Chains A and B, each alone.
Chain A
Amino acid sequence: MSNEDIRALPVYLGKRHFRLDDFFDVDGAASDQIRIAGDARKVKWIGRDMTMGRITIEGNAGMHLGAYMKGGVIEVTGNASDWVGAEMSGGLIRVHGNAGGQIGAAYRGDLAGMRDGTILIGGTAGLEVGMRMKRGTIVVAGGARDFAGLEMRGGTLVLGGAELRTGAWMMRGTIIALRSIEILPTFSYASRYNPTFLNVYARHLKTLGVDLPHLAADGSYHRYTGDVAIPGRGELLVWEAQTS
């Protein structure tokens, strides 16, 4: 597309139609890379259905960032709002700051959330992170609020910490808590070990700049299975560092 064509792209403000250049200046050569500079915290659906290329947002991003995304990379230097990577099926979203709720989640009424891909949140996240996610990996380096992994169907959710009801009604999948969390009474304690598959994840995440503890010398994981209220076959792995 030429820059003129891009400037003419439709943008909605509520129900009203506008041109993209009513809000943005457009420059640069044709490329599969887009850089958005400025405060985009009210701009929704950035990277929706994206299949390839790269979008860099220098600042904050609005709701539904990378929703339904299938490939490519989205990077946000600031914060992002709710529904980051909702129902995405591929690609990488990296938010350096905090994010809202429903990251990688299923939209209301839909059965499955994120189907594949990776979401990395450098800060904290809101409610219902990974709700009904089926596959893929979400890492929230800081803490997540209530109901992380709600009705989870699969995939891997790594949390720096979490508030209440983590893994509620989860059927499958793995929630890894890097700090002690409150465990629902409908989860059963199984054992303490160092799962080999986490070594594979640690190697993969290391390439993305995320350190996942996995060495037996550093500690081990407590495994809980549940949510037996469903009954589900998910697992909670809670890291406990080795104290010398």
Chain B
Amino acid sequence: MEINGVQIVDTFAEAFGMRASRVVITAASARWAEIAGLSMTGFATSVIGCKLEAGIESVLSPEETPDLRPGVSVLVFGFDADGVGKRLIERIGQTILTCPTTACFDGLPAAPERVVVGGTIRHFGDKFQSSKLLDGRRYWRIPVMEGEFLIEETFGVQKAIGGGNILILAGNEIAALEAAESAVTAMREVAGVILPFPGGIVRSGSKVGARNYKNMTASTNDAYCPTLKGRLGSESALPENVHSVLEIVADGLDRESLENALSRGIRAACRPGVVAITAGNYGGKLGKHHFHLRELV
């Protein structure tokens, strides 16, 4: 199967069940909302190394936010609800509470599974905090030097999928990067999906464990490293005309949105200079969510 002369490899992306929350961050201006969102989602590329995967899902207009101010929607993914809750407390406490003019709201109010976030962060108020209960939702007002920080008591957590991916195999680095950027632009239009890596792109895809170091949980995906083609001890998966590979990892709130994002990404990545699109998997043994590339397009 080919799109624009780019081969779509008959394989599948293997993804994992996760838990996710949506955090709506608002601020006095779109700029400060973005700064807060970027701070909160920094160092959140891989749940293995960062305990959390996070990214900005979308930019929100004042009409779309609970407090009628500009905002951003952030999605965070973790292994379980307890972990998501702990990470939210850490990250909101250090990056949103501290950021000028911000407020923080639950973006999954209908989710039955809840984690206490504002209800813990409120202790920063040293008993000077107060709360408001409106429409069944409790908000904490924490006095800060600037004025007041507002945060919702609990945040919803729902089942989600993490680790959806595609690999872009290209003839050179520039073609790979341009194709990946094009895919990222297309995938970021899908609600409920984030691309947690820098700029949405991963250059250092990994395999589970390591061949030569016992304590490594992950190491370079040598089969897809162009510089290791023909090297003893490594079995390359790359055709001869591939000289650069970039990966895009996507996390989604549900299968439908993730399928949509991967589909858009594959189509957008099929550009001149790209040889093939494939995906990372572990033979289907580790993740229960399989996204077959040819079914996506």
Contact = CB atoms under 8 A, between A and B. Distances in A.
A197 B139 contact: yes
A69 B275 CA distance: 69
B130 A201 contact: no
B232 interface: no
A199 B150 CA distance: 11
Nearest to A207: B135
A71 to B, nearest CB: 12
B48 interface: no
Interface in A225-240: 233, 235
B88 interface: no
Interface in A204-226: 204, 214
Chain B binding site: helix, strand, loop or mixed by DSSP?
A: strand
Contacts of A214: 68
Nearest to B152: A200
A181 interface: no
Interface residues of A, number: 20
A175 B126 CA distance: 23
What is the interface residue range for chain B against chain A? 10 to 19
A184 interface: no
A137 interface: yes
B233 interface: no
Given A137-B134, A196-B103, A203 B66 contact: yes
Contacts of A204: 134-135
Give the 10 A-B CB pairs with smallest separation, nearest first: A199-B67, A196-B150, A196-B103, A199-B68, A193-B147, A200-B67, A197-B150, A203-B68, A200-B66, A135-B133
Interface of B: 26, 66-69, 103, 130, 132-135, 139, 141, 147-150
15 contacts: A116-B133, A135-B133, A172-B130, A174-B132, A195-B147, A196-B103, A196-B149, A197-B67, A197-B139, A197-B148, A200-B67, A201-B132, A202-B68, A203-B68, A233-B130
